[in-house]
Chain A
Amino acid sequence: MMPLIGFVLIPIVLGLLMYIKPHSYTKAVTMFVQGIMLYMSIKYLFQLHHTNEIVELLSNHQLPVGMTLKLDVLSSVLVLLNNLLFFLMIVFNYHKAYMNKLFIFLFLSLQGMINGIFLANDFFNVYILIEVATVTVSILIMFKKDSQSMYDGMIYLMVNMTAMAFFLLGIGFIYKYFGVLDFDTVSQMIKTLDDPQPLMMPYALLLTGVSLKAALMPLFSWLPKAHGTASAPSIVSSILSGIFVKTGLYLFIRLQLFFDPVLDVSSYYLFMGFITAIAGFTFAIAQKDIKLILAYHTISQVGLIMIGLNISATSSFNGAMYHILNHGVFKSLLFIIAGLCIEIFKTRDITKMKGLWYHSKPISIGLIIAILSITGAPFLSGGYSKYLISKGYAGFGGTFIFQLLSLGTMISFIKFFKMIITKPDQAKNDAVSKNEVVVVCLMALLCILFGVFGDYYTALILKYDASYPLAKQLSKFGSYLVYYAIGYGLYKWIIEDRKWTVHLSGIELGFNSIGLSIVTFFAGTMAYLNWIY
């Protein structure tokens, strides 16, 4: 059995070796090692069935002096998703021209560092790994070196560094009060506190950094530029939206688990999640650039996950966890299909892409499955996890909110359906290679499996009995179709070719405004905490 540190070190060392001594079989070795990593993460998942957590000491000293890596249910889900996505992306990219030694080095280092973020068991290691991963991502964003991407990469780097400075200051306060930095001891010590007053400052500072990483409402302006930039290869966008944005959500869950006994701010984040979800799909509807639509959609889905995490019911929390996994799969699928569409049609404007069905049938089917999944159709992964999230929030208000969100998602994906079924205006372009089709089909299959056998997978991965059988899923089919019809009506009535969408798509915050929004968020969180305690 591979030790946990292998998840962090193997990709980084492999990438480095490949960089120093490139060879004709570099790509084959990379793919083979990715397969092993995926296999090991599945094996660890099964091992977690017998025990609650696996802890590995990195030195001879016990906690709180030593340093440990820890795998529990929460981190195992994310490690699995990370290694799954990286394996699929490497297979997908096998024949691409830009897969050179530098790209492989950066890409594999990113994988190791993301694994490290999920496995690390203390605040400072998490900070270091996020910081280095951010630098790597900013280089990957501008990998094709065109003029637009320089600005995008610079904004991404500076904004994230600012947020991480807040995070580090928060860590400073944690160390000042508790004298330790590992998660286990800090969480035990927080439980013994009666007075929430001294925790407010570190909590607000840490959460400002984490919320920016997760792209919550006022702090999301950097995300569309980073995830939707023209220069980044489509697999980089897939990884950013599929897994990297989840590091913020993961840290949010961790911090909530620590601070929850003393500071309960779930209603604040429930509200923020709701606004984020609404803002995300509103901006997505206004866009015409295929990658920007998907990037804004990530924000909307982050909002939905945030809502799920902050509802007190167990089903919603597990639904949100399952949605993190499902969203990782279908959003990556959508991004790689977007990359293929840009190659086929030689444009990024979705209104100019016509007749995808004529150009490539398997890709069209993959796209339809991904869209049905993200819009929450029955029998598909997205529908399953969205049902679980909404189950814990019954009542008129809750139903209204979730219906509004799914309606918004449906409306923003109407353009994609149009792209498939319209009449083609270009000669047939079958530039799609076999390995790309295989990956698209595999990911589409995962979307179906995670939905149809959702009961089995939630029990296996999250140890949660969801009980949402197929017959119950089938009963939702009628309402899904009715909603889509309403969505189409709304699209025709108030959205299609309207001027307000053009105005909305032009809204963009500059660097100073993003900095101001970070400060506002911090001040707002502090004010809220002072108000309720």
Chain B
Amino acid sequence: MFQFLQNISEIYITGENTSLVIFFIGVYGLTARRNILKSIISLGIMQAAIILFFVSMHAHVEDVPPIGTSFSVMPADPVPQALMITAVVIGVSVTAVSLTMFITIYHKYGSTNWNKVRIKRRDIG
């Protein structure tokens, strides 16, 4: 039984599948949580999932880092890693902008709830 479970987990619990689960946990957070801060965090979770997806695709435990010019074994694919450095930078800046906006919204409307903010915005307009 234990052996069976171990086999199953080796086949199905891979980086890519885990990242898809995490991605949709983030999506759930966006659709179900009314707190603006939690929405920003959910977006961060989605971005983290995407990063995991990119770096775990075609990855093997025995891969060596793609640094240098001559390799004894096949090095890991450097392209997803390079792409993800850019995506991390973009993700950080987007989170920073969202948090700045959130602070301003909180000062103007006095609430962290999407619905309450929406109602107040409608009353102003």
Point out residues on A near B: beta carbons under 8 Å: 124, 128, 131-132, 135, 138-139, 142, 147-148, 150-154, 157-158, 161-162, 165, 168-169, 172, 175-176, 181, 230, 508, 510-512, 515-516, 519
Contact = CB atoms under 8 A, between A and B. Distances in A.
Query: Residue among A151, A153, A176 with the most chain B CB within 10 A?
Result: A151
B50 interface: yes
Nearest to B97: A135
Contacts of B97: 135, 138-139, 157
A230 B125 contact: yes
A135 B49 CA distance: 21
B35 to A, nearest CB: 10
A172 B16 CA distance: 10
B101 to A, nearest CB: 5
Nearest to A132: B90
Contacts of B115: 510
Given A124-B83, A128-B90, A147-B124, A154 B58 contact: no
A29 to B, nearest CB: 29
Nearest to A168: B50
A69 to B, nearest CB: 18
Interface residues of B, number: 45
9 pairs of A and B residues whose beta carbons are closest in the complex? A515-B30, A515-B31, A151-B121, A511-B114, A165-B46, A516-B31, A176-B57, A154-B101, A172-B53
Nearest to A154: B101
Contacts of B16: 176
B53 A169 contact: yes
B118 A131 contact: no
B39 A158 contact: yes
Contacts of A168: 50, 87
Contact of B102 (A154, A175, A176, A516): A154
Given A151-B105, A158-B39, A169-B50, A510 B94 contact: no
Given A135-B97, A157-B101, A147 B108 contact: yes
Nearest to B32: A512
Most buried by B among A124, A157, A162, A165: A165
Contact of A135 (B50, B86, B94, B114): B94
Contacts of B83: 124, 175
Contacts of B46: 162, 165
A40 to B, nearest CB: 28
B117 A151 contact: yes
Interface in B72-125: 79-80, 83, 86-87, 90, 93-94, 97-98, 101-102, 104-105, 108-109, 114-115, 117-118, 121-122, 124-125
